[in-house]
Structure 1
Amino acid sequence: MALLRRAHQPEAALQLVKHRATAILREYVQAEAELVGRAAVLTDGTAGTVEGVFLDDSHGLRISITGHVGKWPISTIKMLQP
């Protein structure tokens, strides 16, 4: 935030926003590569293969499990296939 306040020029503020967006997308792509296709057990007992990773505006990263309807926060992964 301090960097954004110091950025008096619109170009500097835009560069900061682009940098942060790029960092978010880089982490999303890495999480997707690490999780999709791996077997997982969630804290509620749901188990299966991670089908997809999604970026939710309110809850952050969420995953879907093959054969189950819905999306769960990534923090609910209890065990993940090595």
Structure 2
Amino acid sequence: MNEPTPVIEVAGLSYAYSRAEAVHDFRLTVRAGRCYGLFGRNGAGKTTTMKCLLNLLRPRGGSVRVFGLDPAKHEVEVKRRLAYVPDYVA
């Protein structure tokens, strides 16, 4: 039996701000109907990871797929199906 496409699939995600590495080789698979949370200290890379999933930041390494699509190539289709509330709303 074929597994359905994961809602979120992250493989080897890496991102650095200047010289400070925020995310290193992060991997995550979220299947439909599951609920996950990102927990960690300040500066652990939680917000950076979310921004990479939303194509607000471009990963330096690895791959990101949301609903089976690359958010960098299919930004409108991905964002049409999402809601994002950042921690700071000005």
More helix by share: 1
On whether the aligned pair clears a TM of 0.5, the verdict is no
Give the TM-score normalised by structure 1.
0.29
Q: Greater relative contact order: 1 or 2 (C-alpha under 8 angstroms, separation 6 or more)? A: 2
Could you state the TM-score of these two structures normalised by the residue count of structure 2? 0.28
Larger Rg: 1
